[in-house]
Structures are given as structure tokens and as C-alpha cells.
A and B are shown apart, each in its own frame.
Chain A
Amino acid sequence: MALPLAQEIIFGLVIGSYIALGAIGFTLVYGLVNMINFAHGEFVTIGAYVGFLSIQIAGLPLPVALVVTFFGTAVIGWAIARVTFEPMNDAGAVPLLLMSIGLGLVLRNLIRLVAGAGGRDVQVGVATYRFEDLGFFVTSQQLFIVGVTLLVVLVLHLFLSRTMLGIAMRATAGNEDLALVSGIDTRRVRNVVWLAAAGLAGVAGILLAVAQEASATVGFGQLLLMITAAILGGAGSPYGAVAGSYLLGIGIAVSVAFLPAGVTAFGSTMAFVVLILVLLVRPGGLVNAEVRTT
């Protein structure tokens, strides 16, 4: 049984990578803008289509397309947030959340209307590396997906810990009013957060488009997983979100492989059960964020 486990863990790392790229953005927005963004999945979808256009239509090689998608989705997402969320930043959590639900409905159906209900394949050459004596295989695609995610996490870490902007971001997340009186331009910080969140969601989108397909609901399908991972890690903590995502990804892959078929038929339903259990037992997640009312 030990050998298939290695294979399942590879699958889990891949699933965790998609979730992580989305969950980081979700949790940054949650921590800094103080809102639950139910339209975050649509940023992933936009990324999937930007990726599809740049690979299939413009014919860019994958690494270039990845960079194009990151910046393209970042700007689109930022512009959308600028028009919708930014003007009502002081309205409070619930109006922002309702706004994001409306925005999600609009974007999802707009994409469906323009791009059609069916999915679009993105063709990329894949090489498979087999380790026969160890009993598992890795594809170049899987290595690429996990590699990109780890690189992103590393860059994010350097950004948050070594640049003034990143430090300003952490300060704003900690206490927005204090950050403001210390001379931090919190508006600029929020702009950066939207750019980063949308850009990372875009990267998740192009990876999903390459590994599966680009469709109008590809991001929405990931949304509750991203939220689960973010809460599992501790809402508002990007490091927690990464850890939560990989735990969730490996958990899904391993349970699908080893639990009896009757249980795994529940599929991602299990993830939501996990979410509720986490909230019951340790609502602050891995990093024990402050979530109680009083």
C-alpha cells in the first residue's frame, strides 16, 4: 500500500496547488479589505480564459503565457474591484459580501454567454516520467504546476517580509486605522492586494485550463475549496492558506484512493464537512486567527 500512496500524494499536491493559488488571494482580500469575496472564483475563470487565449490563439509558449495571464488577470481583477468594491469600502462586511455575490453572478454568466457553455481545451505537450521500481509516475505538467506554486509562495514570502510595501500590507491587515495614522497609504495597499489576489487567481486559472479545460464554471467549482482551505489555515493568513490548501488537496486525493467507494462518492462534499468540523473545533484554523465575536 505504501507505493500507491506516493502517487496519491503527487495528485494531492497538484490539487493543493490550484487551491493554494486561489486561497492566498482570497485570504489576502479577507484580511485587508475585510470582505468575503464570493466572486473570487470568477477571477480564476478569467485567468483560465486569458490563458486559453494566449496559448491557443496567440500561440505563446507556456511560461510566457503564464506571465501574461498573471498580469492580465491582475489588471482585469483590479479594475473590476475598483469599480465595484472600492467605492463602498466603508459599507461593512455584509454589503460587500452581497456585492460580491451579485458580481459573481454577472461575471459567471457573462463569460458563459461570450465563451459558450462548453469547455475549451488547452493543448500543451506533456512528458511522463515513470519510476517503475518505486511504482509511481510524474508528468512534466504536474511538476510544472507544483513548481509554479512553490515559486509563487516563495516570491510572496519575500514580498511580505522584505519589501516596504509587503510590510505595509501586513501592518494594514493587523490594524488598518493604526497603519493609516503611521503614514501608510492604505488605499495603495488595497490596490496592491487586489492586483495580487486577482493575478494569483489568474495563475490558478491558467494551470487549471492546462490540466483540465477552460470553462465558465471552472473557478466557481473551486471557490468553496479555496474558502475551506483559507479557513482551515486561519482566515487572513497567507501562510496558513498555503498549508491549508495542501492539507486539503492531499486529504482529498488520499481519501478518494483509500476510503471505500461509498464514502468517496461524496467527493468534495467531504471538504465542506471538514470546513464545518474545523469551525467547530478550532475556528481560528492552523494559525489560530481571531474569529470570535466577543
Chain B
Amino acid sequence: MKFEDLPVDATRAGAVLLVLAVAFLFSPLFVRPPAATLVLFEVGVLFLLYALVLVGLNLQFGHTGLVNFGPVAFFAVGGYVAAIVTANDPYGAVGLGLPWPVGLAAGVVVAVVLGALIGASTLRLRDDFLAIVTLAVAEIVHGLIVTVRDVTGGSNGLQNVPRPIAATTGGGGAGELFATVLVFGALAVLFYGLFHRLSASPYGRVLRAIRADEQVTETLGKRVFRYKFVVFVYGAAVAGLAGALLVFYNGAAAPGFFTINVTVIVWIGMLIGGAGNDRGVLGGLAIIMGFQLATRFLNEQLPVITPDQFASVRLMLIGLLLMVIIKYRPEGIWGDADELGVES
């Protein structure tokens, strides 16, 4: 059987899982995983949120060829808007104290608006301009978060954000982690399924045609700009959703959650797995996050190197990995070199 076609439809599976996860949340049942596995659950939560961002990014870059270097901008905007709308009297910041569903919706909507603004202004320009603008927007968003201290709490962040999952499981700890992984996992499967359906449909075929040759696609009567615009906004929306979920999981928003590292990890995961292969990119994300987890343990074993030096070494290795992939296996592990139009 090919890696691509397992018998279960991910959209349906995701929807069923989500219902089950919510039912589990409101049931008196709870699962408390053993303490030794907690670090895996913690990384798992982050993996699932990054997977949401990656699903959108893969539609943008993998299928359509849009070079979005600022997924973290939408992730951060979604998170901070959700935090500002829902926080109760945060210290030194603005909090409207509205219920969390409103915050979730607001986070997604603002991320969509930002995506629409960037898309409308840049998608008509050469491909590489989008890369610069999205990178610049990510910097602007990060700069604004740090400088508009009175609203965002600056580098201290924004506390007292509601934690809906923790509330139903009766406080934090292992039980909450398990429930969070369940809910986020269901959402990740659901969105994976939705975006996979989209890219497998005739719509997705047009997207790949745009990636291969915009002008030919335009000549065939497809409105290239509209396709690119819609895809860009979809990606922004799902990244915004992921950001809002992160904030509701943490109960706080802080600049440290939304650094350029998010962009780097998600991009490298996509390139390792093979851009355009919906399942492959998630495998790539698992590889790079597993690498990070493994090196974290390694650092604890090697006290000779200071954590600061170790951070440099790790980033160097990640950069080297990126260079090696681009040079020797540009289609990634599971990607299709012919379809991506690359040669190794």
C-alpha cells in the first residue's frame, strides 16, 4: 500500500475524534499519563500546533509555490488577539475578559485580515518579494508585540487568559496535558484532512499548475491571483487558529512563544518531509522536533558545554541540515522531485 492512500478519510476521522475528545472532556473520566512521559506530551502539544501551521504552509508553498517566510506572524497575531480579547485584568496589558470562543474567532479573523492585506498587496509581484514581505511582516509583528507594551504586556507577556481545557479537567497537570493532546490532535487530523481534500481535488490541480507555470495557467483561463490569494488566506487562518489554541493552552501569551524559530522549524520540517506531500511534511516536522528533543537530553548529559554554546551548535546543525537537504535532496524524503521541478 502506498504511503499516500490509507483507507480512512482523515476529515471524517478528525471530526469523529473531535467529538470523542470533547465528550471525553466533559465526562468524569480522566487519564493521567506517567510522569516520565510528560515531556513527550509537552512536545506533542507543540507538535500538533506546529502541524496546524504546517498544513497551511504546505498548501501555500508545497502545492502553490508561495514562499511564505512569515507563518509565525499569523500564529502570533492569532495568539495575541485571542489573549487580548479574553484575558481578565492582565497585569500591565489590555484584557477584555470576553469568553474564549469569542477570542478564538477574533484571533482567526484578524489573522485572516492580515493575510488578505499582505496577499492583496504582494501576490502580484515576483515570487521572491513575497518572501521578503512576509519575513518583514513577521519582524513588524514581533517588534509591535515588544514595543506596544501597554497593550501586549511587552516582554512580560499577557497573563490571566482562560484555559478552557484545564477548566474542564479540573486544573493543570498530567490530566490536562492528555486532554489537550487529544483535542489538538483531533483538530490537527481534521485540518490535515480538509487541506488534503482540497489539494487532492481539481482545485489542488490548479494550484500545482500555478506552481509549475503561472503564465500557462493564466492562459488556460484560471484566475491565478485569486487562487493564490485564497490559498494564502487559508494558510493565515489556520496559523491564526493554532496561535489562539496555544494561548488558551498556556493561559498566557508571551513573545517567546512566537519567535522566528517557529518559522524555521516549520519550514525545515516541510523541506525534510518533502514539500507538497501532505503526510510527508508532518513526518518531517516529527523528525526535526524529535531531533530538538534528543539534543535537549544530550545537553543535560554534556555539562562541559554551556547551554548558550549548545544553543548555537544546535542552530548551526539545523542550518547545515537545511543546506544539505536543499543541495542533495531538494524534494525531501517523501517528496516527488519531478512534480516539484527540482533536481538533486
Contacts and interface: CB of A to CB of B under 8 A. Distances in A.
Interface of A: 36, 84, 87-88, 91, 93-95, 97-99, 101-106, 108-110, 112-113, 117, 224, 227-228, 231, 265-269, 272-273, 275-276, 279-280, 283, 291-294
A84 B323 contact: yes
B17 interface: no
Interface of B: 65, 67, 121-122, 124-129, 131-133, 135-137, 139-140, 143-144, 147, 214-215, 218, 264, 267, 271, 308-309, 312-313, 315-316, 318-323, 326-327, 330, 342-343
Nearest to A230: B132
Contacts of A91: 330, 342-343
Nearest to B135: A224
In the A-B complex, the 5 residue pairs with the closest CB atoms: A105-B319, A102-B322, A269-B143, A102-B323, A106-B319
Given A97-B128, A106-B323, A231-B132, A269 B309 contact: no
A137 to B, nearest CB: 30
Nearest to A283: B125
8 contacts: A88-B326, A93-B128, A98-B326, A99-B326, A101-B322, A267-B143, A269-B143, A291-B129
A105 B136 contact: no
Contacts of A117: 308
A interface: dominant SS: helix
Contacts, number: 124
Contacts of B128: 36, 93-94, 97
A279 B122 CA distance: 7
Contacts of A98: 267, 271, 322, 326
Nearest to A284: B125
Contact of A292 (B126, B136, B322, B342): B126
Nearest to A273: B140
A59 B133 CA distance: 42
B3 to A, nearest CB: 24
A253 B189 CA distance: 50
A104 B316 CA distance: 9
Given A113-B309, A292-B124, A275 B136 contact: yes
A275 B70 CA distance: 15
Contacts of B322: 98-99, 101-102, 105
Contacts of B308: 117
A56 to B, nearest CB: 23
Given A266-B144, A267-B143, A268-B143, A279 B326 contact: no
Contacts of B326: 88, 95, 98-99, 102
Contacts of B127: 93-94, 293
A99 B139 CA distance: 21
A36 B121 contact: no
A272 to B, nearest CB: 4
B127 to A, nearest CB: 6
Nearest to A227: B132
B221 to A, nearest CB: 14
A217 to B, nearest CB: 12
Nearest to B132: A227
B311 to A, nearest CB: 8
B9 to A, nearest CB: 32
B193 to A, nearest CB: 28
B144 A269 contact: yes
B126 A291 contact: yes
A293 B126 contact: yes
Contacts of A103: 319, 323
Nearest to A281: B121
A272 B327 contact: no
Nearest to B228: A293
B132 A106 contact: no
B121 A280 contact: yes
A93 B126 CA distance: 10
A109 B315 contact: yes
A117 B308 CA distance: 8
A113 B310 CA distance: 9
Contacts of B137: 272, 276
A109 B313 contact: yes
Contacts of A112: 312
A79 B214 CA distance: 35
Given A231-B129, A279-B121, 7 more contacts: A99-B322, A109-B319, A110-B312, A113-B309, A269-B140, A272-B139, A276-B137
